[in-house]
Amino acid sequence: MKKCITPRGYNRILEDMPDPRFLSRLEAHCRDCEKCAREMESWKELKDMLGSASGIAMPDGFKKKVMSRIDGERILPAQPAGGSRRFLAAAMVFMAALYSIFRPYLRPLLSGMVSRLFQSLSVLFYNFLSSIGIDPGVFIRLLGNTMANLPRIFPFFMAGTALTTVVFLLLILRGRAARQSG
Amino acid sequence: MQDYEIVRLCLQGRTEFFERLVDRYQKLVYSLAMTRLKDPYLAEDAAQEAFVKAYRHLASYNPEYKFSTWIARITANTCTDLLRKRKGFYPVDSAPEATDPEGTPEQHVITRETKKRLETLIDGLSPKYKQPLMLYHISGMKYDEIAEYLKVPMSIVKNRIYRARKMLREAMED
């Protein structure tokens, strides 16, 4: 007796147009092999179930309803591809230009914002550590050192923020592109 | 006539040709909406809306892609928008079924029960396997169309459908 059929072989029964030569080989094998015959029956049952599930009836007059709705519509002009990317690039250039012009005002403002953020976070962290019974001294010293070195790490912080923003924007654009038709 | 030729004719003003596209893809669009929304009335609304959107944006259709995947994506987006608008929406469990007019009432009951059982089994699959399986068996899409729609290689589509069928068969035996 020939080698038994693998599950991948049975899977071919469920294709739209299974190879007739393969089917006749399968049937010939199943005549001699009870185990494979049972297996084939179960795959055929699945095929029948999936076949019956595909029979979704269209609602009455569906095409007519669509065509009557389309009567009042007009075809819009084609949207230029990559429009949002160009807009993003223009926005980034604009922001960079804005920053370079107002740098003397923006830099201390941003620096102050970051300092305040660190302060608030450290207070929160202190309270959290105290509430769970851990001495916050170690972390306070660490935060103190960080604050003292802030001017030096500020460019890295800004670069990290800019990079994160770009990554987020790219992810959003990719998501939008995936949602776009075509 | 190829889909892109029909689209070209519609863009030239012969909009009556759009009916052919509706004819070709109504089952795909409606079954996709039905699978997603599980409500016949809402699915019909979504399917109609998807065709109207497709018509409006026909000029933006890129013939490099299959029309089926384009309209399937529009349908999916329309369903997402509908669901977002109707948060807390509860589907009506009265989908019209394609019943054989020749069949006996017993056969209809068996068909309905079989469908219910299959739905339960399919719902138990992870979305990764469920989606390509539904697209192939329920919406009648081909492997290459599913691959284009899901943006994955065809080998992955085939493999996921195979694994989904295997899981279903095992679940049927339990």
Q: How many domains does chain A have?
A: 2
Instruction: Please name the amino acid found at residue A11.
Output: N
Q: Does residue A126 fall inside a structural domain?
A: yes
Alpha helices in B38-104 (DSSP H): 40-56, 67-85
- Please provide the distance, in angstroms rounded to a whole number, between the alpha carbons at the two ends of chain B: 47
So what's the pLDDT on residue A66?
92
Whether A16 and B143 have beta carbons less than 8 Å apart is answered as no
| Positions of chain B with pLDDT under 50 | 93-96
The pLDDT confidence band at residue A106, using thresholds 50, 70 and 90, is confident
Q: Does residue A162 fall inside a structural domain?
A: yes
Statement to judge: residues A94 and A21 lie in one domain: no
Write out chain A residues lying below 8 Å of B74, CB-based: 181
Q: In degrees rounded to 5, what are phi and psi of residue B97? A: -105, 150
Instruction: List all residues 6 or more positions away from A65 whose beta carbon is below 8 Å from its beta carbon.
Output: B48
Statement to judge: residues A87 and A24 lie in one domain: no
Q: Output the CATH code of domain B1-87.
A: 1.10.1740.10
pLDDT in tens, A122-167: 888 888 888 888 777 776 677 778 778 777 777 888 888 899 989 9
Return the residue of B nearest to A74 by Cα: B56
Question: Residue with structure tokens 């899977």?
Answer: A11
Among B15, B162, B173, whose Cβ lies nearest the Cβ of A42?
A: B173
Nearest C-alpha neighbor of A47 from the set A29, A26, A32, A33: A26
Statement to judge: residues A41 and A100 lie in one domain: no
Nearest C-alpha neighbor of B141 from the set B27, B14, B34, B64: B27
Statement to judge: residues A98 and A173 lie in one domain: yes
Statement to judge: residues A88 and A170 lie in one domain: yes
So what's the pLDDT on residue B94?
47
Q: Does residue A43 fall inside a structural domain?
A: yes
Q: Output the CATH code of domain B100-174.
A: 1.10.10.10
Contact call for B58 and A75, based on CB within 8 A:
yes
Burial class (CB in 10 A: 0-12, 13-18, 19+), A163: exposed
pLDDT in tens, B102-127: 667 676 676 677 777 777 888 888 88
What is the ipTM, given to two decimal places?
0.77
- Please provide the distance, in angstroms rounded to a whole number, between the alpha carbons at the two ends of chain A: 51
Q: Does residue A68 fall inside a structural domain?
A: no
So what's the pLDDT on residue A72?
81
Print the domain residue range for A162: 83-179
Q: Does residue A69 fall inside a structural domain?
A: no
List, by residue range, all CATH 1.10.10.10 domains of chain B: 100-174
Q: Does A178 touch chain B (CB under 8 A)?
A: yes
Q: What is the pTM of this model?
A: 0.63
What six digits make up the tokens of A52? 């019956």
